[in-house]
């Protein structure tokens, strides 16, 4: 039985993942940390200030993090000190924070890190890559929409989309929205962020050429799609060699 703990256990994703672990006979939910304290599925959720003691006492095989970037950096550091594998879905890391995570993980613990754990989005990224490769001279616009509670923008998934497009089309700068006399379009990638209601997570990429437009899009209807990928990753990562893995590794997809 793989013992799983969650950072951000009382949040939207934390609760969704804990519920799925509770239903899985191969996994045991052993509690977690959050800003506030409480109980979830009969297990203790303690203050994240006590994460070192929590890890030493509860000894999880895998620590799942769905919090906020600065908290996730500290949680990964604590997992590294305790020798616990991590699955990280938190988004919004700065380049410096990514570098610190890399230093804490490489050579010490195995980690799956992904800006989106849904299988569909991981396939969508492959389609975006192929379209960007074939249509590298088209005008490209990226749009994402999320619920009104989301703190980071653009979404981690949209940032991954931008990385993929840039890898395939070369040097293009992002243009965040447009207002006023911005002039004719240049070789930018337009980026548009929408926040509203309870939208779980929509992403679309438009490739506009002369007389034709291709649009690729993904829509998540329920956080369960992310949680399924997280559970798959937690089962996969236990016992792996130290290093940073992606959903490509978990799903066996070719990069
Ligand atoms: N990779 C993926 O597939 C997905 C990634 N995400 C990402 O996951 C993250 C969380 O999303 P979501 O669950 O919707 O957000 P929530 O705000 O619902 O949950 C985050 C939880 O973490 C808590 N938290 C904040 N700071 C700390 C800390 N220092 N230590 C421990 N817990 C802390 C929050 O507490 P409080 O509310 O008191 O601040 C909250 O309970 C975001 O970065 C989001 O972008 C989301 C969905 C899918
Ligand atoms: O905050 C969310 O809700 C989501 N965040 C992730 C992101 O930033 O890409 C993934 C998903 O879109 C939901």
| Whether this model's pTM surpasses 0.90 | yes
Beta-sheet pairing, 139-146 with 201-209? antiparallel
Per-residue pLDDT of 83-113, as tens digits, reads 999 999 999 999 999 999 999 999 999 999 9
Residue 171 in this model has a pLDDT that exceeds 80: no
Per the listing, tokens 């009104």 go with 148
Angle in degrees, 0-180, between the axes of helices 69-82 and 95-105, rounded to the nearest 10: 10
Domain ranges of the chain: 2-113+223-251, 119-220
Q: CA of 38: how far to CAs of 10, 42, 108, 135, in Å?
A: 8, 10, 31, 51
CATH no. of 2-113+223-251: 3.40.50.720
Q: Please indicate whether residue 146, judged by its CB atom, sits closer than 6 Å to ligand 2.
A: yes
Mean pLDDT (whole number) for 183-190: 96
Q: State phi, psi for 29 to the nearest 5 degrees.
A: -80, 120
243: Cβ contacts below 8 Å, ≥ 6 apart = 105, 106, 110, 111
Coil, helix or strand for 152? coil
Q: Please indicate whether residue 150, judged by its CB atom, sits closer than 6 Å to ligand 2.
A: yes
Please list every protein residue whose CB sits less than 6 Å from any atom of ligand 1.
7-8, 10-14, 33-36, 48, 66-68, 71, 89-92, 114-117, 152, 156, 226
Domain 119-220 class, CATH top level: alpha beta
Q: State phi, psi for 206 to the nearest 5 degrees.
A: -110, 130
Q: Report the Cα–Cα distance between both ends of the chain, in Å, rounded.
A: 31
Give the residue among 28, 27, 35 at the shortest CA–CA distance from 7.
35
pLDDT confidence of residue 237: 95
**Could you give the residue ranges of the DSSP H alpha helices within 35-143?**
51-58, 69-82, 95-105, 119-134
Per-residue pLDDT of 245-255, as tens digits, reads 999 999 999 77
Question: Which residues, listed in sequence order, are joined to residue 65 by a DSSP beta bridge?
Answer: 7, 88
Is residue 177 marked as binding? Answer: no
ipTM exceeds 0.90, yes or no: yes
Residue 235: in which H helix or E strand, if any? Answer: helix 224-237
């Amino acid at each position: 039985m793989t013992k799983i703990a969650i950072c951000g256990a009382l949040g939207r994703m934390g609760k969704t993942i804990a519920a799925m672990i509770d239903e899985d006979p191969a996994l045991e939910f052993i509690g977690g940390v959050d800003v506030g304290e409480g109980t979830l599925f009969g297990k203790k959720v303690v203050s994240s200030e006590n994460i070192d003691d929590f890890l030493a006492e509860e000894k999880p095989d895998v620590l799942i993090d769905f919090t906020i970037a600065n908290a996730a950096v500290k949680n990964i550091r604590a997992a590294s000190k305790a020798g616990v594998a991590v699955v990280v879905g938190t988004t919004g890391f700065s380049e410096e924070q990514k570098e610190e995570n890399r230093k804490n993980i490489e050579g010490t613990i195995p980690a799956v890190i992904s800006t989106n754990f849904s299988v569909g989005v991981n396939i969508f990224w492959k389609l975006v890559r192929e379209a960007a490769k074939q249509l590298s001279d088209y005008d490209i616009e990226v749009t994402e929409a999320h619920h009104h509670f989301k703190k980071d923008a653009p979404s981690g998934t949209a940032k991954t989309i931008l990385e993929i497009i840039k890898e395939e089309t070369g040097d293009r700068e992002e243009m965040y929205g447009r207002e006023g006399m911005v002039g004719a379009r240049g070789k930018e990638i337009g980026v548009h962020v929408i926040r509203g209601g309870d939208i779980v997570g929509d992403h679309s990429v438009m490739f506009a050429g002369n007389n034709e437009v291709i649009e690729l899009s993904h829509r998540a209807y329920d956080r369960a799609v992310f949680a399924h990928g997280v559970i798959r990753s937690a089962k996969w990562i236990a016992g792996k060699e130290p290093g940073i893995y992606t959903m490509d590794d978990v799903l066996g997809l070719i990069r």
